[in-house]
């Protein structure tokens, strides 16, 4: 493990940086990566963002979104540094194979054990975007409106727009600086929260799959492949069940393709990162996820059993 000032020096010495984040990317992953790409370019460096997955349409308002590259396994990219953000290096898809470079890993997930020597993890940070905010200061790069918009969205989405327990004074001070540069929170929230009619209709169908289990301490939305493919996005679905009275753990399971399901969990108290780790995933105490390579019904029952066992303990 290294200090953040060491990460700053590594990046300052590099000329060409490839930036990546985890598959199934969220606002913090995309926001942090794009903020870093923009800042590095402003510092006169060559920088690009590679994400090995589909990109959430509701994040397309971010500056640089259309520049994100989805690599294929036959690509060959050389760089001085592969900057891996918001995840350990085992969740970046084919980017590990495609990019030939030294790895610098910056993350805020407690489940990141620091596989690579040049790893910086701050589990007290609300979002990786919060760490990038501090990193840019150490690098002497001034915050501009493009990076500020990306960092704001990263911090906002990982804190539930500042409703979750990970929101600290440190977070809000960083957000205030973003606003001082010109970020307009209302415009970002209006864009990211809007959904197509089809998605809203699918949300209604999804809510019909709600199941309470573990004596009412857990609730789940379970989307088979047909329902998953109907939704352009499932962003916000899990928020509809985490508010149910008496529920500690909310889970969203969606079947992306036959034999593979993705789960997202939110908790009011129980450590869902441990549950996610048992499936090869990771995250935070109160927000975590994983990919499960099982058919839909089997994955569903496996997740229900794991959550029930965790709550019983």
Which CATH code, of 3.40.50.720, 3.40.50.300, 3.10.310.30, 3.90.79.10, is assigned to 197-312? 3.10.310.30
pLDDT of residue 137: 97
pLDDT of residue 114: 85
- State residue 224 phi and psi, 5-degree precision: -70, 180
68-79 CB burial, b ≥16 within 10 A, e <16:
bbebeeeeebeb
pLDDT of residue 235: 83
C-alpha dist (Å) from residue 144 to 35, 42, 180: 9, 9, 10
pLDDT of residue 110: 85
pLDDT of residue 106: 98
* Global pTM value: 0.87
Element housing 290 (H / E)? strand 287-292
List the one residue out of 236, 197, 199, 242 whose CA is nearest residue 219.
Answer: 242
Distance CA 245, CA 293 (A): 31
Extract the residue ranges of the chain whose pLDDT is less than 50: none
Kindly report the number of other CB atoms within 10 A of residue 228's CB atom. Answer: 19
CATH code 3.10.310.30 region(s) in the chain: 197-312
Distance CA 178, CA 313 (A): 42
Per CATH, the homologous superfamily of domain 4-192 is inorganic pyrophosphatase (n-terminal core) (3.90.1640.10)
CATH code 3.90.1640.10 region(s) in the chain: 4-192
């Amino acid at each position: 493990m290294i200090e953040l000032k060491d990460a700053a020096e590594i990046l300052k010495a590099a000329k060409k940086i490839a930036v990546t984040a985890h598959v199934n990317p969220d606002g913090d992953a995309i926001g942090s990566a794009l903020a870093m790409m923009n800042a590095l370019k402003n510092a006169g460096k060559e920088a690009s963002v590679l994400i090995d997955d589909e990109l959430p349409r509701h994040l397309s308002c971010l500056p640089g979104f259309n520049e994100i590259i989805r690599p294929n396994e036959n690509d060959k990219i050389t760089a001085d540094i592969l900057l891996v953000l918001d995840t350990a290096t085992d969740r970046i898809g084919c980017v590990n194979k495609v990019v030939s470079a030294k790895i610098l890993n910056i993350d805020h997930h407690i489940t990141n054990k620091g596989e690579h020597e040049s790893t910086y993890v701050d589990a007290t940070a609300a979002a990786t975007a919060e760490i990038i905010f501090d990193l840019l200061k150490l690098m002497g790069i001034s915050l501009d409106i493009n990076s500020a918009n990306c960092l704001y969205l990263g911090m906002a989405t990982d804190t539930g727009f500042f409703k979750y327990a990970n929101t600290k004074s440190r977070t809000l001070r960083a957000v205030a600086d973003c606003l001082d540069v010109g970020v307009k929170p209302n415009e970002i929230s209006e864009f990211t929260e809007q959904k197509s009619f089809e998605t809203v209709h699918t949300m209604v169908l999804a809510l019909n799959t709600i199941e309470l289990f573990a004596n009412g301490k857990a609730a789940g939305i379970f989307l088979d492949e047909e329902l998953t493919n109907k939704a352009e996005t499932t962003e916000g679905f899990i928020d509809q069940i985490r508010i149910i009275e008496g529920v500690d753990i909310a889970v969203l399971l969606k079947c992306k393709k036959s034999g593979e399901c993705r789960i997202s969990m939110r908790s009011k108290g129980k450590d869902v990162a441990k549950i996610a780790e048992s499936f090869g995933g990771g995250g935070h105490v109160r927000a975590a996820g994983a990919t499960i390579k099982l058919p839909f019904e089997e994955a569903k029952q496996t997740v229900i059993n794991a959550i029930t066992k965790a709550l019983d303990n």
